[in-house]
Structure 1
Amino acid sequence: MRAWNFKVKSNPEAIGDKLESSLGSYDGLVFNMDSDKNNSVTFKVRKKILYAWYMLFLNYIIVKGKLSKTAIENETNVEIIFTLHFLMALIIFTYVLLFFGLLITIILGINNSLLMFVTGVILLAVGVLLWIEFQKRTDNKVQEYKTLISEILQF
């Protein structure tokens, strides 16, 4: 979805420990960290799902990161990717399939009534408005995570 790369003056294990201590105790976040064979550390951050409707408002961004050493001593390359939660991607995919199914029905002339055209226009308008709102919320959530991580790492 979106990528963010930067360098920090420290080793990957120290940065991973700092992120784990800060984000592990942060309210509502789940932090998972693994160390690789080649001195790199991977982590994943997401918000907990307590109720089903939280998915629509709070928990659709997953932060996946990799901390790896660079050629310079005591410097770490941080690669962070912001992705959609699987269920949110499934909701979007279902909506797209519904719209294209309606569009194919209209184009093939299976049901050529005025009601189908009105339903298609309304579905398209709602989809465009939801997409605009979804993009705004996604940008805000990504910016919140960027601010949180940059405050923790202080780069």
Structure 2
Amino acid sequence: MHATFHSPIVTTHFEKEIMKKWNLKVKSNPQEISQNLKSALESVDGLMFNLNHDKKNSIKFKMRKRIQYAWYLIYINNVVVDGKLSKTEIENETDVEILFSQHFLWKLVIFTHVFLVLCIVIAIILGKISSASAYLFGAGILAIGILLWITVQKKYERNVQEYKTLISKILKF
């Protein structure tokens, strides 16, 4: 198999979730690629892998690590991978489109911090909170949220690279 890489596209969504898109062309047909992915990833313990054949002659797949307990979120790769294999006009060539996104639990943790900070800011503006301890509590929650966001983004970048390496090894390029 031979692959041609396209530059990754980073799109920022309203909820500030970074999703990376990875496009490449592989010199093989979609069925062969899907079988390679299926055989390599179904045996990996703790990895959820789904493969669906689409009505438009494309094959979609999704994979992520299983999170059994909430504290596993800190330690394991928590990126959700959505992929699509499409046949091109050229014989024996496949477009591979892969989208990496954050796990739902990380989004929930981050948005909970944002919501708490917004509630505290609204309460301060409305004059419901005027004590110094409330200001310190709000500043602490804000600092934890910012630190958490930076840490999650660094971990996300490492996890995306792990998946790219895994997929590259499976597709042999």
Specify the code of the residue in structure 2 equivalent to 1:37.
K
Matches of 2:42 and 2:157, distance apart in 1: 23
The residue that corresponds to 2:108 in the other structure is 90
Deviations 1:96-149 (A, max 9, x none): 111111111112211111111111211111111111111111111111000100
4+ long deviations beyond 4 Å = none
1:41 maps to what in 2?
59
2:143 and 2:106 map into 1 onto residues whose CA distance is 20
For the residues of structure 2 that align with 1:120 and 1:95, how far apart are their CA atoms? 10
> What amino acid is aligned across from residue 127 of structure 1 in structure 2?
G
Counterparts of 1:92 and 1:129, CA distance in 2: 10
Which runs of 5 or more structure 1 residues have no equivalent in the other structure?
none
TM, length-normalised to structure 2: 0.84
* 8 Å contact kept, 1:49–1:59: no
- Which residues of structure 2 form unaligned runs of 5+? 1-18
Deviation at 1:59, TM superposition (A): 5.1
Matched, 1:149 2:153: no
* Equivalent residue pairs, number: 155
Identity level (%):
55
- Give the CA deviation at 1:49: 2.2
The match for 2:128 among 110, 128, 138 is 110
Tell me, yes or no, if structure 1 residue 27 matches structure 2 residue 45: yes
Give the TM-score of the pair, scaled to structure 1.
0.93
Q: Which has the higher helix share?
A: 1
Match of 2:98 in 1: 80
Q: Aligned partners of 2:124, 2:78: CA distance in 1, in Å?
A: 33
RMSD (Å) for aligned C-alpha atoms: 1.3
